[in-house]
Chains A and B, each alone.
Chain A
Amino acid sequence: MTALTDAPILKTDRLILRPPHLSDFDAFAAFYASPRAETLGGPFDRKEAWTEFAAAAGQWLLRGYGFWEITDRNSGANIGRAGIYHPDFWPEPELGWMIYGNSHEGRGIAQEAAIAARDGAARHCGITAPMSSIEAGNARSIALAERMGAHPDGEWETPYGPMLRFRHAKVAA
Chain B
Amino acid sequence: MTPTLTTDRLTLRPPKASDHAAYAAFFADPEASHFYGGPLLPYQAWERLSADVGHFALKGFGRFVIERDGAPVGGCGILDVAGWPGHELTWWLLPAARGQGNAQEASRAVLAWAGDALGWRQVETHFRDENLAARRLTESLGGVKQRREIFPDGHARDIYAIPTRAEVTA
Interface set of A (CB-CB < 8 Å, partner B): 2-4, 20-22, 25, 29, 45-62, 87-89, 159
Contact = CB atoms under 8 A, between A and B. Distances in A.
B145 interface: no
B54 A53 contact: yes
A89 B43 contact: yes
B52 A58 contact: yes
A62 B43 contact: no
A48 B81 CA distance: 10
B29 to A, nearest CB: 19
B118 interface: no
A48 B54 CA distance: 14
A83 to B, nearest CB: 14
Contacts of A53: 54, 82
B53 A25 contact: no
Given A50-B82, A88-B20, A55 B57 contact: no
B152 interface: yes
B119 interface: no
A58 B53 contact: yes
A56 B52 CA distance: 11
B41 A159 contact: yes
Interface string B14-54: 00110010000000000000000000011100111111111
10 contacts: A3-B1, A20-B58, A22-B58, A54-B50, A55-B51, A56-B50, A59-B50, A61-B53, A62-B17, A88-B43
B147 interface: no
A53 B41 CA distance: 19
B58 A54 contact: yes
Given A45-B83, A53-B54, A88-B46, 13 more contacts: A29-B83, A47-B83, A47-B152, A51-B48, A53-B82, A56-B54, A58-B53, A58-B55, A58-B57, A62-B17, A87-B43, A87-B46, A88-B20
Closest 3 CB pairs of A and B: A46-B83, A58-B54, A58-B53
A53 B83 CA distance: 13
